[in-house]
Chains A and B, each alone.
Chain A
Amino acid sequence: MGNDRSPKKKKGGTKDMDDLKKEVPITEHKMSVEEVCRKFQTDVVQGLTNAKAAEFLLRDGPNALTPPPTTPEWVKFCRQLFGGFSILLWTGAILCFLAYAIQAATEDEPAGDNLYLGIVLTAVVVITGCFSYFQEAKSSKIMESFKNMVPQQALVIREGEKVQINAEEVVAGDLIEVKGGDRIPADIRVTSAHGCKVDNSSLTGESEPQSRSPDCTHDNPLETRNIAFFSTNCVEGTARGIVICTGDRTVMGRIATLTSGLETGKTPIAVEIEHFIHIITGVAVFLGVTFFILAIILGYTWLEAVIFLIGIIVANVPEGLLATVTVCLTLTAKRMAKKNCLVKNLEAVETLGSTSTICSDKTGTLTQNRMTVAHMWFDNQIHEADTTEDQSGAAFDKSSVTWLSLSRVAALCNRAQFKAGQDSVAILKRDVAGDASESALLKCIELSCGSVRMMRDKNKKVAEIPFNSTNKYQLSIHETEDPNDNRYLLVMKGAPERILDRCSTIMLQGKEQPMDEEMKEAFQNAYMELGGLGERVLGFCHLLLPEDQYPKGFAFDTDDVNFQTDNLCFVGLMSMIDPPRAAVPDAVGKCRSAGIKVIMVTGDHPITAKAIAKGVGIISEGNETVEDIAARLNIPVSQVNPRDAKACVIHGSDLKDLSQDQMDDILRNHTEIVFARTSPQQKLIIVEGCQRLGAIVAVTGDGVNDSPALKKADIGVAMGISGSDVSKQAADMILLDDNFASIVTGVEEGRLIFDNLKKSIAYTLTSNIPEITPFLFFIIVNIPLPLGTITILCIDLGTDMVPAISLAYEAAESDIMKRQPRNPSRDKLVNERLISIAYGQIGMIQALGGFFAYFVILAENGFLPSQLVGIRLNWDDRSLNDLEDSYGQQWTYEQRKIVEFTCHTAFFVSIVVVQWADLIICKTRRNSVFQQGMRNKILIFGLFEETALAAFLSYCPGMDVALRMYPLKPTWWFCAFPYSFLIFVYDEARKLILRRNPGGEHTIDRWSTFAQAPHIFHLFLPPVIPSSAKHISRCPAPLKTKSALKQFSSQLPQRLKTAKAPLQLSTSTCPLSPHLL
């Protein structure tokens, strides 16, 4: 309550949170009405005076929830601009500017490359940042539309007068009146009630409306009858009460505050990207430092070496990857949005894919949140009713006469009716005025027997005793359908044991038979069985009143009962439950086969929870709880070894007493867990428990009570239609159609995008090596620079983009829903192995291809490779205009530069050519391309597009001026072809070895591990010790890989300081034929 909690301050934040995590400290339910009145200085008849109300309003503030602190737009934008990957690019950009500054300070005419590169890097980050910012802004706009804008009204009594005021102005102490259909405006202590029922499902998870009365029935304020809670709904009846808490101090407000105060951790993909950045930075710094030392040894000056160092480090930054990853995630988010999964945060797209535990709420998530007739017992037989949403289930035998009587009783002894004007709406979707179980009966009868209203019209109601909690039955007397029959029909329904007490006969096959012990036992069994299913059971009986005693026109007195209410004829039982949604069992099954543990966490009662858990497969068939085993073996619960029970149902009150270790023990050792009667705070504790055990937890829920857990979870999934605003705010993902099965789609898409991102990254990283080696050789062996900054950017941000993105459209290699969820500590997005293949193996071959083209062109122009080594200083000397080649031809500076840039173009084209092969091998990580096929049209488009772009850049007139790219002779295109082919063959061979040596898969490639069902995997290769497995098939010997990686890897654009001035643009049309002098 308000007085024991200081107003929210940043300082007291942690203490505040702990306080919020505790149970609700309401005590008013235990006080008498007078005490409550005294406490709030109010009057139970007159209400507050206006002056007092104004004073309290000033003291407590308006009765509204403080909206969760919204992050300002610019903060969101900055987060996009500086989060995750962007850091890497920003560092690169800053280093570039730094290098340029050094150059500018030390040289007369600094080369502009570092400056340009810095600008381009900045531009890439800003553009991608804007893109993802707008992407997220779009989904938050959809979120806005969810908000309920209708201002609430409340009926308060002040100074003895009823006034309708804005719910925000309600203060503690106000006397309030609520009626059916109203939303309760604050936490109130009920002082008087008439048949009042409230729907607490969004707060406690109970699917049945709870009756409210002035008496305290339970110590726990959440369970007691005399408190009604803020923002729950009054379903029927009227009640009066005194407001005890308003705004954030209400139970609901506390939960909302708790929710918005929770800190959430990083998304798994953010962790992966961080790991990736670490690896990349490691490689970059290693290469940079190595070559820095080499440069010093080779006699470069300090400053030169520093420029090299920066150049090499920057060259390692994959410029295009940020954009690629963002676009891939966006594409998946869109694909999911189309399947009705709205993702609020782009990074959450992948999270479902890594999820290893799903904690699901029951009411409204797994179930339909409406009572439905599930079973009937008549003719000494249990019949199953159709509970599916679309009435696709099996029908029962409706021909029995008993059924006709039962349906007549259920229809007549029922006060619920359809609201008007819904004839065109499907029966199950119609709105009903009345009690939940009566509406369930109404809908059931309307579905199976046709119009209930007609039936009621034919059997006019003469008298009625409504249900009350003392007699526990409801009774009504009707005329019969037959106008010639003057008898009256008495129908009664109520608690089965009460009904049975009043019956002396039972209807079997339409005939009345005396109720014998055997029938009574049959009744008891049926009652127990239905009750055990967690269903709410009602008994029905009727009697045709004898005409001689009750002639037509008999005045039935319902207050002072003047007619027979015993010796009735028992007709049957009907039982109701909030049935599971149709798609849920299948979805749960799929999650399970995908290795995801599904836990039910509900506020509802254990029996109902367990029944639904069994119904949807959360407790699978044949699995028993400790209690089940005890019951089967007929031994006390304490004697059962808890290890024998795979399933368990845990009550919220037990949970309270569990230590952390016991909790971990339960979560670890039981595969099928149901938590019942849990408070919102306990839901949070459960989620934290799972996370402590290293699981990546998804929480699904729709109520306010789920929202702290939704926020705390790695990914919170809220329901779009039935979900409360608070839960939607707290969630990362919203199922627009409320269909739990969409989660399976989410898992599938999440896993696929993780796999495909891996491929995209492998593809993008590979071209880093052919991009960086030219610079390294430029430094080390002093050859003319083989590949310039501009051409590198053309690859990273031009030709490589579409192919890399196209990998996001790759289909899965094996059934991704059959493998275990990835282990966040072991299965990384980018690991050393991926780097070693991309950098150490494929990248090296690519570099060879590029250098081959480079040497061919220079040789064709007269510079044989032997001549090139050590030529750099002369080559880049502007004043030297008669450099001789191997054949004695003399070259001016301009001519040399044209040849050099033609080489850049050829190197660029060669990289494109080898990237063809790289794209095809990156398509699959284990399967051969021939197995996988080339069905990804986007990928083929990517191949065409990158080639077309390369040709365009080379041949478009004006490119020699703009980007210094020159047309290539057709034959030069083919220089890299053999290398392209080599890459393809090499990798196919690698994958073949991989497939042939399944023992090593474990360490080599996780795909294969998961390609088979887990248990089969264990059957075939029980103890593969990772360390030994490593040697089985890292196909090219590990040694080789390692040394290759060490030797190279890094890249680097950056024009050396040696290119002293911006190059003169040449207009010569025949660049490659120096005039013989």
Chain B
Amino acid sequence: METILLIVSSLLVYMTAATNTDTEGATNTSENPFIYDYETLRIGGLAFAVVLFTLGILLILSRRCRCGINQKPRAPGDEEAQEENRIVSKAAAAAKETPPEN
């Protein structure tokens, strides 16, 4: 499961990188080499962040189902799954704290 996720994420990294280089190449050849397409970069970067974040959330949620299906004998698994949910909220709380402080 996590390996798949990791592969997907690294692919995404690669793709974002690729798209960005593409746009870079395109603009660079036709225009001033000192002008960089920051709009595309921003959108790509943000998309990357969103994807990564969603992946993280999915990863946490997936834990539960995984335990339900093929980790029956591991009783503590369930416990941990619940604990994780708590930490998500904790993390959210922590995240909430951060912005005003920045």
**When the two chains form the complex, which single residue of B50, B83, B91, B101 contacts A945, counting CB atoms closer than 8 Å?**
B91
Scan residues 318-359 of chain A and give those whose CB is less than 8 A from a CB of chain B: 323, 327, 331, 334-335, 338
A123–B57 alpha-carbon span in the complex (Å): 28
A439–B2 alpha-carbon span in the complex (Å): 60
Q: Are A951 and B48 in contact (CB under 8 A)?
A: yes
Decide if A806 is an interface residue (CB 8 Å cutoff).
yes
Chain A residues positioned under 8 Å from B17 (CB to CB): 970
A181–B83 alpha-carbon span in the complex (Å): 45
Decide if A940 is an interface residue (CB 8 Å cutoff).
yes
Give the dominant DSSP class at A's interface.
helix
Decide if B94 is an interface residue (CB 8 Å cutoff).
yes
Scan residues 152-204 of chain A and give those whose CB is less than 8 A from a CB of chain B: none
Q: Are B46 and A951 in contact (CB under 8 A)?
A: yes
When C-beta atoms are compared, the residue in chain B nearest to A802 turns out to be: B91
Q: Are B86 and A331 in contact (CB under 8 A)?
A: yes
Scan residues 42-87 of chain B and give those whose CB is less than 8 A from a CB of chain A: 42, 44-46, 48-50, 52-53, 55-57, 59-60, 63, 79-80, 83-84, 86-87
Q: Are A331 and B87 in contact (CB under 8 A)?
A: yes
Chain B residues positioned under 8 Å from A941 (CB to CB): 56-57, 59-60, 91
From B21, B39, B94, residue with most partner A Cβ within 10 Å = B94
**When the two chains form the complex, which single residue of A323, A809, A955 contacts B45, counting CB atoms closer than 8 Å?**
A955
Q: Are B42 and A957 in contact (CB under 8 A)?
A: yes
Q: Are B101 and A938 in contact (CB under 8 A)?
A: no
**When the two chains form the complex, which single residue of A338, A793, A797, A938 contacts B79, counting CB atoms closer than 8 Å?**
A338
A708 to chain B, nearest CB (A): 36
When C-beta atoms are compared, the residue in chain A nearest to B96 turns out to be: A127
**When the two chains form the complex, which single residue of A801, A954, A956 contacts B98, counting CB atoms closer than 8 Å?**
A801
Q: Are B94 and A327 in contact (CB under 8 A)?
A: yes
Chain B residues positioned under 8 Å from A687 (CB to CB): none
Decide if B29 is an interface residue (CB 8 Å cutoff).
no
When C-beta atoms are compared, the residue in chain B nearest to A1071 turns out to be: B38
A127–B93 alpha-carbon span in the complex (Å): 11
Q: Are B38 and A948 in contact (CB under 8 A)?
A: no
Contacts A797-B97, A944-B52, A948-B53 given: A331-B90 contact, CB under 8 Å?
yes
Contacts A944-B9, A1070-B35 given: A802-B94 contact, CB under 8 Å?
yes
Q: Are B49 and A945 in contact (CB under 8 A)?
A: no
Q: Are A954 and B45 in contact (CB under 8 A)?
A: yes
Q: Are A1073 and B35 in contact (CB under 8 A)?
A: yes
Sorting the interface of chain A by its residue count into under 10, 10 to 19, 20 to 34 or 35 or more gives 35 or more
A756 to chain B, nearest CB (A): 13
Decide if B102 is an interface residue (CB 8 Å cutoff).
yes
Contacts A338-B79, A805-B87, A948-B56 given: A967-B2 contact, CB under 8 Å?
no
A568–B44 alpha-carbon span in the complex (Å): 100
Chain A residues positioned under 8 Å from B39 (CB to CB): 1069
Q: Are A937 and B102 in contact (CB under 8 A)?
A: no
Decide if A777 is an interface residue (CB 8 Å cutoff).
no
Contacts A951-B46, A1070-B35 given: A970-B60 contact, CB under 8 Å?
no
A362 to chain B, nearest CB (A): 32
Bitwise interface map of B from 14 to 46 toward A, beta carbon under 8 Å scored 1, else 0: 001100110000000000101110110110111
From A124, A794, A798, A955, residue with most partner B Cβ within 10 Å = A955
When C-beta atoms are compared, the residue in chain B nearest to A941 turns out to be: B56
Scan residues 934-958 of chain A and give those whose CB is less than 8 A from a CB of chain B: 934, 937-938, 940-941, 944-945, 947-949, 951-952, 954-957
Q: Are A1070 and B45 in contact (CB under 8 A)?
A: no
Chain A residues positioned under 8 Å from B5 (CB to CB): 940
A947–B59 alpha-carbon span in the complex (Å): 15
Chain A residues positioned under 8 Å from B49 (CB to CB): 947-949, 951-952, 955
Q: Are B52 and A951 in contact (CB under 8 A)?
A: yes
A944–B56 alpha-carbon span in the complex (Å): 6
From B17, B49, B50, residue with most partner A Cβ within 10 Å = B49
Chain B residues positioned under 8 Å from A327 (CB to CB): 90, 94
Contacts A790-B102, A941-B60 given: A947-B52 contact, CB under 8 Å?
yes
A50 to chain B, nearest CB (A): 60
Q: Are A970 and B101 in contact (CB under 8 A)?
A: no
Beyond A956-B46, A970-B20, 19 extra complex contacts between A and B, CB < 8 Å: A124-B101, A794-B98, A797-B98, A797-B101, A809-B84, A937-B60, A938-B60, A938-B84, A938-B87, A940-B56, A944-B53, A945-B53, A948-B50, A951-B46, A956-B42, A967-B38, A969-B20, A970-B16, A1070-B38
29 contacts between A and B (CB under 8 A): A120-B101, A123-B101, A124-B101, A793-B101, A793-B102, A797-B97, A798-B102, A801-B91, A801-B98, A805-B90, A809-B87, A937-B63, A937-B84, A940-B5, A940-B56, A947-B52, A948-B48, A948-B50, A948-B52, A952-B53, A962-B102, A967-B38, A969-B41, A970-B17, A970-B21, A1069-B38, A1072-B36, A1073-B34, A1073-B36
4 interchain residue pairs of minimum CB distance: A955-B45, A944-B56, A1073-B34, A951-B49
